[in-house]
């Protein structure tokens, strides 16, 4: 029997330690992991809990991230609660197996500490690994600070393991800005946290010898399409369960999560849409700009990156006063507009307010995104609003040295 | 169409062409492409002979999955010593044996890898590879003689 870990009402934890504590409290059957910066302390912390008797499950050290996720797939198919952690290049190496996990409908939890993808090699935080996962069929939930990096893995087990969902879930946090920044975190007691997560309910488990099953079957053109459609419906419909689990978590802790977080959008004339730790920067900048210059700025932050909250993004942007929106993508789009820009634009296009929307690429490889730059971008949106048309390139780069870089101009006057 | 029928103990094998199963819509496919092997409780399955088991629709036991074989092993009962080597080594459970007596080859599942021929210890071999199109009777009539030991 696992020992109870004594916790204070408030602890000073960074995002990594917060995530590792949440994994410990979920009493996972198998963690197969291969540590990588900046998520290493999640695996390290979990290994220490196992060695010191705080976890009953197995901790499997493997030779690569491909093997880590493969071990997770095997253990989940066998019928256990399973989780692991990774970042960046490790995430990229896992990618093949991520698609196996979601197609096989195995509710694995993956805590991802977002980091740039090489080349050039870089250990700092951006969202290129998170974006790499966006068609993988995993639910992707984003934590903006250490408290959320603790809370959301607990929710992730409940969401993924729900019998109406049965899909793997990633919980993202930003490399270093969240993962290595110590903040006040209010943890639950072990028994309370475990009760919230609940006992694992296996489905079609391979260790049920009364009902042998084949996992990972091959299908060709006569079956593959129907299976992918069923899987897509499951992740699209998971929004109901996500909302329910967030509601239950609020009842337990008072901490409220939504698939799309909105700040000061009620009367907003301009807004930023962004993800991760930059959300808190943007919210503070918006508050100050409202006070300093009276510009009505709001912020929209998809908590849930997948399933993409088309319904709630549209709701958030369907504000009669809203004129100009900027979507910020912290991943190099490699020859396109940013993914967040594309998806938010598509949702906003079907609203009656249909605001002007522009795109900034920012923060690549951990380039700092601070208050002044957030305010500058907000003021630029206000200039679009006042002019009645987009006055800059539609896609621009924030915080970049050298000549101004931008692409495309509006054809709306 | 089954190619097995003549080998005892394989009556239920290879009755379907691969891909001939009933096509259902996306709402009815099995979640996660998980395929149950048997109908009903299978706790005692290891103690039942294959022909006594209730295989599920998606179990390849009831499908013929050998259409791409180019060379086939032919079995010569007159030489076989029932050592079971081929039965042990066959990667596709395509050597049919009952009560330690070799009965023949399940041509609905054999892929023609030739491992059975390789491990056969008799002289001449009791299993040899022949062109898929050649009749088994013809193959048996061409069987080689025992090789003389070198002095």
pLDDT 10s digits, A289-309: 999 999 999 999 999 999 999
Give dist(CA A355, CA A366) in Å, integer.
30
CB pairs under 8 A between A and B: 69
Give dist(CA A313, CA A77) in Å, integer.
35
Q: Is the pLDDT of residue B18 over 90?
A: no
Beta bridge partners of A279: none
On whether both A101 and A198 belong to a single domain, the answer is yes
Q: How many CB atoms lie within 10 A of CB A293?
A: 12
Which of A253, A271, A291 lies at the terminal end of a domain, its last residue?
A253
Q: Which residues does chain B have within 8 Å of residue A164's beta carbon, measured at their own beta carbons?
A: none
Phi, psi of B106 (to 5 degrees): -85, 95
pLDDT 10s digits, B52-89: 889 988 888 888 888 889 999 999 999 999 999 999 99
CA distance, residue B100 to nearest chain A CA (Å): 26
Q: How many CB atoms lie within 10 A of CB B135?
A: 10
Do A20 and A149 form a contact (C-beta atoms < 8 A)?
no
Residue A2 domain-assigned?
no
Q: How many CB atoms lie within 10 A of CB A44?
A: 15
On whether both A247 and A291 belong to a single domain, the answer is no
How many CA atoms does the CB half-sphere of A58 hold within 13 Å? 13
Is A211 in contact with B33 (Cβ distance < 8 A)?
Answer: no
Q: Is B42 helix (H, G, I), strand (E, B) or coil?
A: coil
What is the number of structural domains in chain A? 2
Q: Does A315 touch chain B (CB under 8 A)?
A: no
At A190 the pLDDT is 98
Q: Does A221 touch chain B (CB under 8 A)?
A: no
Task: Find residues 84-103 of chain A whose CB sits inside 8 Å of chain B.
Answer: 103
Q: Which residues does chain B have within 8 Å of residue A219's beta carbon, measured at their own beta carbons?
A: 33
Is B31 in contact with A203 (Cβ distance < 8 A)?
Answer: yes
On whether both A302 and A246 belong to a single domain, the answer is no
Residue A112 domain-assigned?
yes
pLDDT 10s digits, A76-112: 999 999 999 999 999 999 999 999 999 999 999 999 9
On whether both A264 and A172 belong to a single domain, the answer is no
Closest-CA residue in chain A for B35? A214
Residue A4 domain-assigned?
no
Closest-CA residue in chain B for A226? B26
Do A94 and A170 form a contact (C-beta atoms < 8 A)?
no
CA distance, residue A242 to nearest chain B CA (Å): 20
Q: Does A172 touch chain B (CB under 8 A)?
A: no
On whether both A148 and A213 belong to a single domain, the answer is yes
Greatest Cα pair distance, chain A, in angstroms, is: 71
On whether both A109 and A244 belong to a single domain, the answer is yes
Q: Which residues does chain B have within 8 Å of residue A105's beta carbon, measured at their own beta carbons?
A: 31-32, 34
Q: What is the CATH classification number for the domain harbouring A167?
A: 3.40.50.970
Q: Does A330 touch chain B (CB under 8 A)?
A: no
User: CA nearest A271: which of A399, A126, A377?
Assistant: A377
At B1 the pLDDT is 41
Give dist(CA B65, CA A351) in Å, integer.
54
The mean predicted confidence, pLDDT, of chain B is 88
Is A212 in contact with B45 (Cβ distance < 8 A)?
Answer: yes
Q: Is the pLDDT of residue B5 over 60?
A: no
Q: How many CB atoms lie within 10 A of CB B56?
A: 19
Please give the structure tokens belonging to residue A277. Answer: 């730790």
CA distance, residue A184 to nearest chain B CA (Å): 40
Pairing of strands B95-98, B101-105: antiparallel
Q: Does B22 touch chain A (CB under 8 A)?
A: no
Which of A238, A253, A268 lies at the terminal end of a domain, its last residue?
A253
User: CA nearest B19: which of A222, A317, A240?
Assistant: A222
ipTM: 0.89
List strand residue ranges (DSSP E) for A98-218, in order: 109-114, 139-142, 169-174, 183-185, 213-214
On whether both A286 and A230 belong to a single domain, the answer is no
Residue from B16, B23, B32, B55 to probe the interface with A (highest A Cβ count within 10 Å): B32
On whether both A221 and A275 belong to a single domain, the answer is no
On whether both A277 and A243 belong to a single domain, the answer is no
On whether both A81 and A230 belong to a single domain, the answer is yes
Q: For the residues A364-387, what does the mean pLDDT come to?
A: 98
Q: For the residues A19-30, what does the mean pLDDT come to?
A: 98
- One DSSP character per residue, A255-282 reads ----SEEEES-TT-SEEEE--TTHHHHH
Host domain of residue A42: 11-253
Give dist(CA A34, CA A65) in Å, integer.
6
On whether both A178 and A40 belong to a single domain, the answer is yes
Q: Which residues does chain A have within 8 Å of residue B55's beta carbon, measured at their own beta carbons?
A: none
Give dist(CA A29, CA A35) in Å, integer.
19
On whether both A356 and A378 belong to a single domain, the answer is yes
Q: Is the pLDDT of residue A408 over 70?
A: yes
Residue from A101, A212, A221, A232 to probe the interface with B (highest B Cβ count within 10 Å): A212
Q: Does B38 touch chain A (CB under 8 A)?
A: yes
Which of A253, A275, A304 lies at the terminal end of a domain, its last residue?
A253
Give dist(CA A201, CA A79) in Å, integer.
8
Q: How many CB atoms lie within 10 A of CB A117?
A: 20
Indicate whether this model's pTM tops 0.90.
Answer: yes
Burial class (CB in 10 A: 0-12, 13-18, 19+), A214: middle
Do A314 and A306 form a contact (C-beta atoms < 8 A)?
no
Is B32 in contact with A105 (Cβ distance < 8 A)?
Answer: yes
Beta bridge partners of B102: B97
Q: What angle do CA A387, A388, A389 make, to 5 degrees?
A: 90
Map out the domains of chain B with their CATH numbers: 16-141 (3.30.70.20)
Is A213 in contact with B37 (Cβ distance < 8 A)?
Answer: yes
Burial class (CB in 10 A: 0-12, 13-18, 19+), A7: middle
Q: What is the CATH classification number for the domain harbouring A349?
A: 3.40.50.920
Residue from A217, A228, A234, A238 to probe the interface with B (highest B Cβ count within 10 Å): A217
Q: What angle do CA A165, A38, A272 make, to 5 degrees?
A: 65
């Amino acid at each position: 029997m696992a020992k109870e870990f004594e916790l204070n009402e408030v602890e000073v934890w960074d995002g990594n330690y917060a995530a590792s504590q949440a994994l410990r409290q979920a009493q996972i059957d198998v963690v197969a992991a291969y540590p990588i910066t900046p998520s290493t302390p999640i695996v390290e912390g979990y290994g220490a809990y196992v060695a010191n008797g705080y976890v009953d499950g197995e901790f499997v050290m493997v030779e690569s991230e491909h093997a880590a996720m493969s071990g997770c797939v095997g253990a989940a198919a066998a019928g256990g609660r399973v989780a692991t952690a990774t970042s960046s290049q490790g995430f990229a190496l896992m990618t093949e197996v991520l698609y196996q996990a979601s197609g096989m409908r195995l509710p694995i939890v993956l805590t991802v500490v977002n980091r740039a993808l090489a080349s050039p090699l870089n250990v700092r935080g951006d969202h290129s690994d998170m974006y790499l996962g966006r068609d993988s069929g995993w639910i992707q939930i984003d934590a903006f600070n250490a408290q959320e990096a603790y809370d959301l893995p607990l929710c992730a087990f409940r969401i993924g393991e729900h019998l109406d969902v049965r899909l793997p879930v990633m919980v993202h946090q930003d490399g270093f800005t969240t993962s290595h920044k110590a903040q006040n975190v209010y943890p639950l007691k072990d028994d309370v946290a475990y009760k919230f997560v609940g006992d694992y309910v296996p489905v079609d488990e391979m260790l049920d010898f009364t009902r042998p099953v084949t996992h990972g079957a091959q299908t060709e053109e006569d079956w593959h399409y129907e299976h992918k459609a069923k899987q897509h419906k499951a992740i699209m419909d998971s929004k109901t369960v996500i909302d329910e689990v967030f509601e239950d978590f609020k009842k337990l802790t008072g901490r409220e999560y939504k698939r799309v977080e909105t700040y000061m959008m009620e009367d907003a004339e301009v807004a930023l849409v962004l993800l991760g730790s930059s959300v808190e920067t943007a919210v503070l900048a918006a508050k100050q700009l409202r006070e300093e210059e009276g510009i009505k700025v709001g912020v929209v932050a998809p908590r849930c990156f997948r399933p993409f909250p088309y319904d709630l993004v549209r709701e958030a942007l369907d504000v009669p006063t809203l004129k100009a929106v900027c979507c910020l993508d912290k991943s190099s789009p490699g020859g396109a507009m940013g993914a967040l820009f594309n998806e938010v634009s598509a949702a906003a296009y079907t609203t009656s307010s249909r605001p002007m929307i522009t795109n900034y690429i920012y923060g690549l490889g951990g380039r700092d995104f601070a208050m002044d730059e957030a305010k500058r971008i907000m003021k630029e949106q206000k200039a679009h609003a006042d002019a009645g048309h987009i006055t800059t390139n539609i896609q621009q780069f924030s915080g970049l040295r050298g000549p101004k870089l931008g692409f495309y101009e509006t054809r709306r006057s | 169409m089954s190619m097995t029928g003549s080998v005892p103990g394989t009556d239920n094998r290879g009755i379907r062409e691969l891909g001939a199963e009933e096509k259902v819509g996306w709402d009815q496919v099995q979640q996660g492409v998980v395929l149950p092997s048997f109908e009903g409780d299978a706790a005692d399955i290891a103690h039942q002979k294959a022909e006594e088991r209730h295989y599920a629709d998606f179990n390849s036991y009831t499908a013929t999955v050998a259409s791409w074989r180019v060379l086939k092993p032919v079995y010569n009962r007159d030489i076989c010593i029932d050592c079971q080597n081929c039965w042990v080594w066959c990667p596709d459970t395509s050597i049919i044996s009952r009560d330690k007596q070799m009965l023949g080859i399940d041509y609905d599942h054999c892929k023609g890898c030739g491992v059975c021929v390789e491990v056969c210890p008799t002289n001449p071999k009791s299993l040899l590879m022949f062109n898929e199109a050649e009749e088994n009777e013809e193959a048996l009539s061409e069987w080689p003689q025992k090789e003389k030991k070198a002095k």
